[in-house]
Amino acid sequence: MRVNCTVNGDARQADDVWPGESLLYVLRERLGLPGSKNACEQGECGSCTVYLDGTPVCACLVAAGQAEGRDVVTIEGLAESRVQEAFLEAGAVQCGFCTPGLIVAVHDLLAREEKPSDPDIREALAGNLCRCTGYEKIMDAVRLAAAR
C-alpha cells in the first residue's frame, strides 16, 4: 500500500506499507523522521505523540493508512519552537526519550491556553511518562515557555 500525506509542511509518500503498520513506524523507518520515539507501543507513555490534522495523537496507535491525505506534524516540525528552547534552558531534558512527546503536548497546551495554571499543565502532561525526572524541571520549562 502507498500512503501519501503532508508531513511538517511537505508532501511525502511511503511505499510498500503493510496494512498493520503504524504511523510511528512509517515516520521513523520509511520517512526518516526518528524524533518521535517508540517506547510502549500501547499509547500509554506519550513518547510518540504527533499532530494529526492539528490533534495530538499517539502515532503508535494510528494505522499508517489513516494518515492518507492528512496533515502530520512531528517534533521535527516544531524544531524552532519556544517550547524546545525552554526545555533546554530549564534543564528539563535528561535522557530525551520522553521529550518529543512532552514538547508536542506542551505546544498543544500553549496553543489553547496562553497562561496555563499548574493544574492545567499537569493535566496536559498526564499522558506523558518520564522515568528520569521528578517532573519539576518539566513544569519549570512549561512555565518558562508560557512566559515568552
User: Residue 11 sits in a domain of what CATH number?
Assistant: 3.10.20.30
Among candidate residues 94, 119, 109, 97, the one with its CA nearest the CA of residue 145: 109
Residue 130 belongs to domain spanning: 82-147
Q: Over 46-110, what HEC string results?
A: CCCEEEECCEEEEHHHCEHHHHCCCEEECHHHHCCCHHHHHHHHHCCCCCCCCHHHHHHHHHHHH
In this structure, the answer to whether residues 70 and 108 fall within a common structural domain is: no
**For residue 73, which amino acid is it?**
V
CB atoms within 10 A of CB 85: 14
Tens-digit pLDDT profile for residues 37-62: 999 999 999 999 999 999 999 999 99
Q: What is the value of pTM for the model shown?
A: 0.95
Domain edge (last residue) among 77, 102, 121: 77
pLDDT in tens, 91-139: 999 899 999 999 999 999 999 999 999 999 999 999 999 988 889 999 9
Same domain assignment for residues 16 and 42: yes
Domain boundary at 77, 108, 123, which?
77
